[in-house]
Structure 1
């Protein structure tokens, strides 16, 4: 019996080319996915997947089980193993790996690796969950104290910056075009919507030309009543090309793709992209290799930039950013503040995805970054028809901690240190 994976459908599903294109339009990007491209992009395995019918209604049964387990709240039950189904499968597999299985290696249960492919091991755990009536706490709708504290703090931040706008925010207020970058009056922190937060750490100081920028920024995902912590970099490595820096503040992003240019399509994977016209960027016009006060004064681009994405950065060993916001796949802190190690199945490079580090080992994916992407795709409420899922990304300077009480630099640094301490 064939495995259930991206691109496969139940036998009753028979779609014309036009119907397939309509289904994929919600998820694909017109540049990375030309109009004639009817395949699925499996970013876990770094492969393209054709549509393929399978006998029976196995996929519809799978989505019903995933919904009952709390991993697919907005399931369509259409018999298509699409991107949301793949994300829900990976969330289930990761939840079983980190919550159900005994971590000391003594469990008799088969392993659960989050590769999005439903084989005998995953079916075993689905059967077990169904028998035991288990359901994920990620879907219970109960807000954790940390989640509630973050929303209280973020609303205090919005109030502070409305009354005390930084030089960057003052520039935005005067700008003719802002694109997806919002002034403090337009910041929103609605608990019914997902929010990704990042803190820019010590980036205002000049950096020597040959120095590497540290991967030392903290990200927090607030979604469905839960908070998850990730890490990476929000600033570009030094470059002679007037590298750009995303302006601080809140921005509108959406589910989309990275590496969509023709020469890089073999490495394309899911990422956050500006939701509309683009985001506002500061350029290194003074050669400081940092968003220094001088660059914040003189380096604003005149128009929004649509290419400053939120994407993966391998194991976080080096900074992959040329201006995008990059997130390590090595580790994360879950909603119980438990440190989760993803190194056994996290690729170091694009071309490693889908391979195995050792014979018989798990397929290599993007690790913690994949979890972030899957949480956003699975738990974000559907938008209007034809509109990609949208979330808000708020980038705050490190000095916010001294301006707005409630979250200390020491707390943020301790969380970052825990994440970075996982060996690679």
Structure 2
């Protein structure tokens, strides 16, 4: 068996219609009608390449049995889901099993294959694969309860921003509090916003993100707030607190050298934002009351480009209004700190064909979503709240966010 990676195909398994094969994934910008795969950690395109045996099928069968690829197509094509499952396997070997020299790059060479053979001999199945929302972890249960408590609280006590949202006839990918959905069969992402009312031209990556999937909770960090220097305008956009629907997609879809996997609003019109209308470099209730020269309240706006994407290792805030996630570290399903700094790239410049750098923890985030999304589920529910909302639950409290962030930044 030769080295397997994105685009590898078994003998006779190349799709006849490559465009049709890629169509479910290539639905954004420059990706539309592409007949090659986007290898975004290498910032290059990968062609379909036919091998001489059925190595890809055997790999897919292993990933399925080991619990990393529950929706395996068994098609003999090393596509996006297979790549994500390989990276999750490599990350599991690196972190859960302690093989620290493993780099989760999605490439199956002799090193990764030796671990696959070991797993096959031992008939191993990952904890991630056997997890289920029917038997959730304590952390998953606590977060889901907090979401339900938040829905009840903010339906009855909406505040200035949500009152304005409730008054609108169309809210696009943003959902009114009474309609927030917290089904355990869905994927949920929680954003915890901090220090949004403090004036800052250069925003730090000082917010949390919690991914709830398959009864497990994984914690990441980054920023929910725009940095003025990235926004390129004084009235930078802030995604409003509440629930929003996001789909699997891509970021930087108009810049070929920078396209990579991300999340986008389900409705092409976008999600609801409030701009920093009074230019105090902060997000406060004054912004919702701000009026134009005629005395009309400027209020909320819909914005199509508020994605959920990568922000390097977290040393700089890459957000112009998007929700951004750092690649340096994360907390796994057991709330254990995982350090990705040895191979996590600081920026696009570190992602090349000759580099072993990746997007680090951000890849774990996107790979978990791609691999463990239930059948026919192509979106998730993103619920953004403020740090003080954690006081709604005795399991957390407002200090939880700052303490957790300190842990994540300690590597």
Aligned-pair distance for 1:14? 3.6
- Identify the residue that residue 137 of structure 1 maps to in structure 2: 127
Deviates more, 1:240-249 or 1:90-99: 240-249
Q: Which runs of 5+ in 2 are unaligned?
A: 291-297
For the aligned residue pairs, the C-alpha RMSD in angstroms reads: 1.6
Match of 1:247 in 2: 240
2:143 is paired with a residue of what secondary structure?
A: helix
In the TM superposition, residue 102 of structure 1 has moved relative to its aligned partner by: 5.3
Task: Tell me, yes or no, if structure 1 residue 281 matches structure 2 residue 251.
Answer: no
Give distance in 1, aligned partners of 2:319 and 2:174.
Answer: 19
In the alignment, which residue of structure 2 is the partner of 1:217?
A: 207
Task: Establish whether residue 414 from structure 1 lines up as the match of residue 407 from structure 2.
Answer: no
Partner in structure 1 of residue 225 of structure 2: 235
Q: CA deviation at 1:421?
A: 1.4
5 Å matches for 1:67-82? Answer: 67-82=64-79
**Number of the residue aligned with 1:295:** 287
- TM, length-normalised to structure 2: 0.93
1:184 match = 177
Q: In structure 2, what is the Cα distance between the partners aligned to 1:65 and 1:307?
A: 38
User: Which residue of structure 2 aligns with residue 394 of structure 1?
Assistant: 383
Does residue 128 in structure 1 map to residue 125 in structure 2?
Answer: no
1:260 aligned partner: 253
Give deviations 1:133-158, integer Å, cap 9, x for gaps.
11110121242111111111111111
In structure 2, what is the equivalent of residue 53 of structure 1? 50
Count of residues in correspondence between the two structures = 397
Tell me what 2:41 maps to.
44
Say whether residues 1:313 and 2:311 are aligned partners.
yes
How far off its partner does 1:30 sit?
3.7
| Preserved contact between residue 23 and residue 32 of structure 2 (Cα < 8 Å) | no
2:166 is the counterpart of 1:173: yes
What is the CA deviation profile of residues 304-349 of structure 1, one whole-angstrom value per residue up to 9, with x for unaligned ones? 2221000000110011110000111000011111110001110111
1:161-188 deviations in Å (ceiling 9; x for gaps) = 1111121111111113211000111111
The offset of 1:407, in angstroms, is 2.0
TM-fit CA distance, 1:351 = 2.1
Helix, strand or coil for the counterpart of 2:59? helix
Gaps (5+ residues) in structure 1?
104-110, 358-362
TM (norm. structure 1) is 0.90
